[in-house]
Structure 1
Amino acid sequence: MLKLLALDRFTVLLFVMVILASFAPVSGQAAEIFSTITTVAIAVLFFLHGAKLSREAVIEGLMHWKLHTLVFAFTFALFPILGLLAKPVLVPMLGQELYWGFLFMCFLPSTVQSSIAFTSVAQGNVAGAVCSASFSNIIGMFITPLLVAFFILGKSQHGFDPTASIIQITLLLLVPFILGQILRPWVFPYMKKMPKLVKFFDQSSILMVVYGAFSSAVVAGLWHQVSLSTLFLLILACSVLLTLVMVLTIFVPRWMGFDKSDQKTIFFCGSKKTLASGVPMAQILFIGQPLGMIVLPIMIFHQIQLMVCGIIANMWSKQIEIKSEE
């Protein structure tokens, strides 16, 4: 338990990026160059994700449409509904801009790598997790901007058109992903020889985006706007949201008659939100908005979900080991 609760290297590095941005933010011409490098790194990351994903796994996973429909409902219906219902409580508690970040987090797709990894550890339906998590990210490139346009930016920016944002997100995330799929026969053999490559790009690109986002936020006075008490309330709000969703992702699939393997897949894919896709989307969607305030909720939620899912995945794995020994 203590080992699971311990912060991993990536979590520590995220905090380091926030501290570094707080004391040494990148700005001016350097910020523009850094932003360009970050954009290229994100495109490379999604190219590698596309090359890594097996087409056989996609075909096998697509056959289980009931599982994917339920995960889709949790990701793009339950989360947004809970986020919208929480507005009367969260706006007075957190302020309008942090609430926008909280709501944006609710509109995001599921994670890919961690959903698959936790499903595998818990011995769930891995093929279903691969397809469901990937499909969630692909469809999220279109659904998330529409939800943001209607419920957030449509109210703050008169006449906001999400079409341009969807095109930018498609070019940045979806096109490299498709190219990776097309070039998979040539690229994947080299990736097998360098298994840490995707993880490196995954983590380094997120760290770069977080540093850039918080740099601009610090320059704009982020830490003069967010107090320790507000930060604590945001952590509490994220924890309550995750608890509600996890309870429903455990009991609804069981009530609907899914087997245990699929129940685990639905739980891990339906209860999480992506940081890897979320921060680049925020950069595109919230131009001119306080980006640091927008990405802060997903950063906090991301860490909480990883710790809780890690504990649960290991617990379910040990339960299976005990049963197999009996």
Structure 2
Amino acid sequence: MQNFIKKNSFILILLGAVLLAILLPGPAAKGGLLHSEVTTKLGVWIIFFLQGLSLPTSELTSGYRPKRLHVFVLSWNYLWFPVVTGLYLIPVSLFLAPELRTGLWLLSILPTTVASAITFATVSGGNTSNAIFSTVFSNLLSVLVVPTVSVAYLAAEADANVPLTPLFSKLAMLIIVPLIVGQIIRKIVPGKATLIAKKSKKVSTGIIVFIVHAAFANSVQSGFLDELSGASVVAVIASTVGLLLLASWLVWLSSAWIRPNHAQRVTAFFCASQKSLATGLPLATSILAAAPGVVDPALVLIPLMCYHPSQLVLAGLLSGKFKAQSEVH
């Protein structure tokens, strides 16, 4: 039991944050004691600043080749995953509320994970340097791709007029500026920057927990979550797990097309099929905050919160099998 709690501590803390928001929404709701309308933005700024400190952009040359592997990963992150999700939503939309469908679609255009994709690729016999290059490049690219595509989608889906210039100005200040500042500091004092980034991992985790808590607190306070039934919760969990299994299967099948060796194929699988909570949640929160009133943030975040633990469980189940296969190869 103790081992289970330790292994799943982050997920349990996230669920605790959601429960606390349901029971006591006042402090983290808009205008409350914690002033979440300001503190969440500050938290997003800090997360991307720390990412700027930790991204090893000058250390990626060893994982640059083969180029086709990284093209494959990026095409799945930002092209094929949304296409698969769009087709998947045709039947699934019959069972999901519009905000939950938006959450699944937003999930589909998020970048891959960094830490877990690299870790699982490494322990499964994959190529670590390839994993580092793909994950870092995907997350850097997400800053441009995700806001642009999301705004276009939200404007079309909600039939709303979302002004692009002020939106991108806000996102630039929240996301791009702190990333650049972090990278500049990393280049000036690389040793100290790396040390700060390593020691600050719990800070980023705490901020993510607070962002989730504040999103749900605002939804509870507004009464929006009252409309979410138990059947809807079951439907979104099942839909998210179904999307994970479908996308993972298609990623593995299609990875053979780039003619990789086994280590490269394992790396491509984890980098192409996983979605980042650490980068994705602040990105999604910033986009929704910059376009208020279009959709409810808490409901949009539910699919991402379901996908994250599900992909870790699947990766854990597959890592042993991949490792055994790598020893044969």
Same fold at TM > 0.5: yes
Q: Find the counterpart in structure 2 of residue 199 from structure 1.
A: 201
2:30–2:218 Cα contact (<8 Å) kept: no
Unpaired runs of 5+ residues, structure 2, are: none
- Alignment map for 1:143-292 (pairs within 5 Å): 143-185=145-187, 187-190=189-192, 196-286=198-288, 287-288=292-293, 289-292=295-298
RMSD: 2.6
Q: CA deviation at 1:233?
A: 1.4
The CA deviation string for residues 213-236 of structure 1, in whole angstroms up to 9 with x for no partner, is 111111122442222221111111
Once residues 192 and 278 of structure 1 are traced to their aligned partners in structure 2, the CA distance between those partners, rounded to angstroms, is 22
Residue 90 of structure 2 corresponds to residue 88 of structure 1: yes
Residue 17 of structure 2 corresponds to residue 17 of structure 1: yes
Moved more, 29-38 or 104-113: 29-38
1:141–1:166 Cα contact (<8 Å) kept: no
Q: Find the counterpart in structure 2 of residue 300 from structure 1.
A: 306
Residue 312 of structure 2 corresponds to residue 309 of structure 1: no
Decide whether aligned partners of structure 1 residues 147 and 186 sit closer, same or farther in structure 2, where only a CA change above 3 A counts.
closer
Amino acid at match of 2:303: P
Decide whether aligned partners of structure 1 residues 28 and 254 sit closer, same or farther in structure 2, where only a CA change above 3 A counts.
closer
Amino acid at match of 1:19: L
Q: TM-score, normalised by structure 1?
A: 0.88
The percent identity for this pair of structures is: 26
1:213–1:291 Cα contact (<8 Å) kept: yes
Q: TM-score, normalised by structure 2?
A: 0.88
Decide whether aligned partners of structure 1 residues 200 and 19 sit closer, same or farther in structure 2, where only a CA change above 3 A counts.
same
2:114–2:276 Cα contact (<8 Å) kept: yes
The CA deviation string for residues 60-92 of structure 1, in whole angstroms up to 9 with x for no partner, is 334432111111111111111122223332222
Once residues 226 and 280 of structure 2 are traced to their aligned partners in structure 1, the CA distance between those partners, rounded to angstroms, is 24
1:111–1:273 Cα contact (<8 Å) kept: yes
Q: CA deviation at 1:164?
A: 3.4
What is the aligned residue count? 322
Decide whether aligned partners of structure 1 residues 137 and 90 sit closer, same or farther in structure 2, where only a CA change above 3 A counts.
same
Once residues 144 and 111 of structure 2 are traced to their aligned partners in structure 1, the CA distance between those partners, rounded to angstroms, is 10
Once residues 62 and 35 of structure 1 are traced to their aligned partners in structure 2, the CA distance between those partners, rounded to angstroms, is 40
2:53–2:194 Cα contact (<8 Å) kept: no
SS at match of 1:29: coil
Once residues 61 and 16 of structure 2 are traced to their aligned partners in structure 1, the CA distance between those partners, rounded to angstroms, is 40
Q: CA deviation at 1:118?
A: 1.6
Q: Find the counterpart in structure 2 of residue 136 from structure 1.
A: 138
Amino acid at match of 2:322: W
Once residues 265 and 198 of structure 1 are traced to their aligned partners in structure 2, the CA distance between those partners, rounded to angstroms, is 27
Unpaired runs of 5+ residues, structure 1, are: none
Q: CA deviation at 1:186?
A: 5.2
- Alignment map for 1:32-71 (pairs within 5 Å): 33-71=35-73
Q: Find the counterpart in structure 1 of residue 76 from structure 2.
A: 74
Moved more, 225-234 or 310-319: 310-319
Decide whether aligned partners of structure 1 residues 197 and 294 sit closer, same or farther in structure 2, where only a CA change above 3 A counts.
same
Q: Find the counterpart in structure 1 of residue 117 from structure 2.
A: 115
Moved more, 124-133 or 83-92: 83-92
2:255–2:265 Cα contact (<8 Å) kept: yes
2:51–2:197 Cα contact (<8 Å) kept: no
